[in-house]
């Protein structure tokens, strides 16, 4: 999903040939990231699925994360909320790409991880075309359950993939939305995390949906991605929509006018049966408290103000009455 998932947005140069043990040994890396009502029928479905799958649990919980700052921050928030309810929770941050941390979930190396509904649905079904938040959630839930996983309630917070340009590039090329890239992308260089080159919502999706084929692709992530755009080394960058670097640098976000990136609500993805009811309730309360604006503000504290993610998480939980 922020610098993206965000999309959601994101930052993971680990290949599938890596062993899980090797991936879990990776150090957490920094860098920025990659339908508001949570009391929807889909949220109720999430609660029901959690109750049926998580009535046991109660043992130690390991909260994993992908290797970008928003995921790591959310993992700290989830772990802190669980600890506040007496759950023996720890974190394993910076695991790597979705391909890697899903394996960790499925084999029980970690218990749960922050996810994004649309990205998860598309990972399991590259032909998935839903964009409505409830439809996307329900599809992702069904797909996760088939793998021995489940989703808890989704939050109103959404972090989606986005393509951004500088004001100068937008003005020079008359760029306002992704459709406006048609006939112009072949003169522009796109920078994004490595996996964006092959994922359905990445380069292939841009070519299919918007007929936008870029001159070249540079695999970059985190602050290297932001700096490359800022310094004119690339023309277009895939950055998560909640990334504070967009506002800080005055970047222009190109509207996803054909909804290629879909819906990307933040949601806990959990190993079935690994959490007890109290643990699930703690995470549902976190989802209820999170909004897109709140998440973006929290991420600014981490990425711009350089505050420790665990301290930012603790402050958020305290203010929300969840600490």
Residue 93 has what pLDDT? 97
| Domains 20-159+263-319 and 163-254 agree in fold | yes
> In terms of CATH, what superfamily is 20-159+263-319?
Periplasmic binding protein-like II (3.40.190.10)
DSSP-assigned letters across all residues of 272-292: TT-S-HHHHHHHHHHHHH--H
Q: Which residues contact 104 (CB under 8 A, 6 or more apart)?
A: 20, 23, 24, 64, 92, 95, 110, 113
Tell if the pTM clears 0.75, that is, is over it: no
Tokens standing for 28? 């957490």
Question: d(Cα 83, Cα 285) in Å, to the nearest integer?
Answer: 14
Domain ranges of the chain: 20-159+263-319, 163-254
Residue 292 has what pLDDT? 84
Helices (H) and strands (E) in the chain, counts: 13, 10
Residue 224 has what pLDDT? 96
DSSP one-letter code for 54: -
CATH number of 163-254: 3.40.190.120
- CA proximity to 111, closest of 88, 130, 127: 88
Question: d(Cα 13, Cα 174) in Å, to the nearest integer?
Answer: 32
- CA proximity to 251, closest of 268, 265, 274, 234: 234
Question: d(Cα 161, Cα 274) in Å, to the nearest integer?
Answer: 30
Residue 54 has what pLDDT? 38
Residue 259 has what pLDDT? 85
DSSP-assigned letters across all residues of 130-173: --SHHHHHHHHHHHHHTTTEEE-PPPS-B----EEE-HHHHHHH
Residue 52 has what pLDDT? 38
Q: Give pLDDT tens digits along the chain (323 positions).
A: 443 333 334 333 333 333 333 333 333 333 344 422 222 333 333 433 333 333 456 689 999 999 999 999 999 999 999 999 999 999 999 999 999 999 999 999 999 999 999 999 989 998 898 988 999 999 999 999 999 999 999 999 988 899 999 999 999 999 999 999 999 999 999 999 999 999 888 999 999 999 999 999 999 998 899 999 999 999 999 998 888 889 889 999 999 999 898 899 999 999 999 999 999 999 999 999 999 889 988 999 998 899 999 999 999 999 999 98
């Amino acid at each position: 999903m922020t610098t993206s998932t965000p999309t959601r947005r994101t930052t993971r140069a680990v290949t599938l040939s890596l062993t899980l043990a090797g991936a879990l040994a990776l150090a957490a890396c920094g860098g920025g990231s990659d339908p508001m009502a949570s009391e929807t029928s889909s949220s109720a479905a999430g609660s029901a699925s959690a109750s049926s799958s998580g009535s046991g649990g109660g043992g130690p919980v390991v909260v994993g994360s992908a290797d970008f700052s928003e995921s790591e921050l959310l993992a700290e928030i989830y772990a802190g909320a669980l600890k506040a309810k007496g759950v023996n929770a720890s974190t394993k941050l910076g695991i790597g790409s979705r391909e890697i941390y899903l394996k960790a979930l499925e084999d029980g190396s970690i218990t749960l991880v922050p996810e994004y509904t649309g990205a998860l649905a598309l990972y399991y079904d590259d032909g998935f075309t839903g964009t409505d938040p409830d439809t996307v959630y329900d599809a992702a839930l069904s797909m996760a359950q088939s793998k021995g996983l489940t989703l808890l309630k989704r939050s109103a917070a959404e972090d989606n993939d986005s393509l951004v340009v500088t004001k100068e590039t937008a003005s020079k090329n008359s760029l306002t939305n992704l459709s406006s890239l048609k006939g112009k992308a072949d003169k522009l260089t796109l920078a994004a995390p490595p996996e964006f080159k092959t994922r359905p919502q990445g380069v292939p999706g841009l070519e299919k949906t918007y007929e936008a084929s870029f001159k070249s692709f540079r695999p970059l992530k985190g602050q290297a991605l932001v700096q490359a755009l800022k310094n004119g080394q690339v023309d277009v960058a895939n950055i998560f929509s909640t990334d504070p670097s967009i506002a800080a640098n005055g970047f222009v976000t190109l509207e996803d006018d054909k909804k290629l990136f879909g819906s990307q609500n933040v949601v806990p993805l959990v190993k079935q049966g690994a959490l007890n009811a109290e643990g699930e309730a703690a995470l549902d309360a976190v989802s209820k408290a999170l909004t897109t604006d709140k998440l973006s503000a929290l991420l600014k504290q981490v990425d711009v103000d350089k505050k420790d993610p665990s301290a930012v998480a603790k402050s958020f939980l305290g203010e929300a009455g969840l600490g």
